[in-house]
Amino acid sequence: MSTFNEIITLTNAGDIAKARDGFIPQAKVRSITVDACVDTAAWTLVINEETRRKLGLELEGTVFSTLADGTVKEYAMTEAVKFRWKDREHAMPACLVPTADDVLFGALPMEALDVYADPVDECLKGRHGDKQVYRLK
């Protein structure tokens, strides 16, 4: 299967909570829009150090992951990142691969948004049409 990109908005979920609770103004919520590589072989959301810095994400632990060549490496995990594609959104930690060229949008984020990678049209599509099953407030 070929890879393709989709426009995804990433937001610091902690900032969203702070703004909601009145600790920071809404304008201080850190968010970026990226051209993410949809990668069904990636298990989660993968970001690089530059993206982590822009979003102001703290590190919260590590995870072992197997690379395409079979090498097992330990990577840091960030605090929750809210990701949005079209009208669908969810939040989860991201795997930090400091030198990654692209943001990778893997299997778990796709499941969370109830979407799949269509290899023919090379785009994300809703599993149950255009209506998301679950949406964060």
Q: What does DSSP assign to residue 42?
A: S
pLDDT for residue 69: 84
Residue 2 CB burial class (10 angstroms; 0-12, 13-18, ≥19): exposed
Q: How confident is the model at residue 133 (pLDDT cuts 50, 70, 90)?
A: low
Is pLDDT at 29 greater than 70 in this prediction? yes
pLDDT for residue 114: 92
Cα angle 39, 43, 46; round to 5: 70
Which superfamily does CATH assign the domain made up of 4-126 to?
Answer: Acid Proteases (2.40.70.10)
Mean pLDDT confidence for 30-58: 96
pTM here is 0.89
- How many CB atoms lie under 10 A from the CB of residue 69? 5
pLDDT for residue 17: 96
**For the chain, percent of residues with pLDDT exceeding 70:** 93
Q: How confident is the model at residue 7 (pLDDT cuts 50, 70, 90)?
A: very high
Q: How confident is the model at residue 127 (pLDDT cuts 50, 70, 90)?
A: confident
Looking at this protein, which amino acid is placed at residue 123?
Answer: C
pLDDT for residue 70: 87
Q: What does DSSP assign to residue 2?
A: -
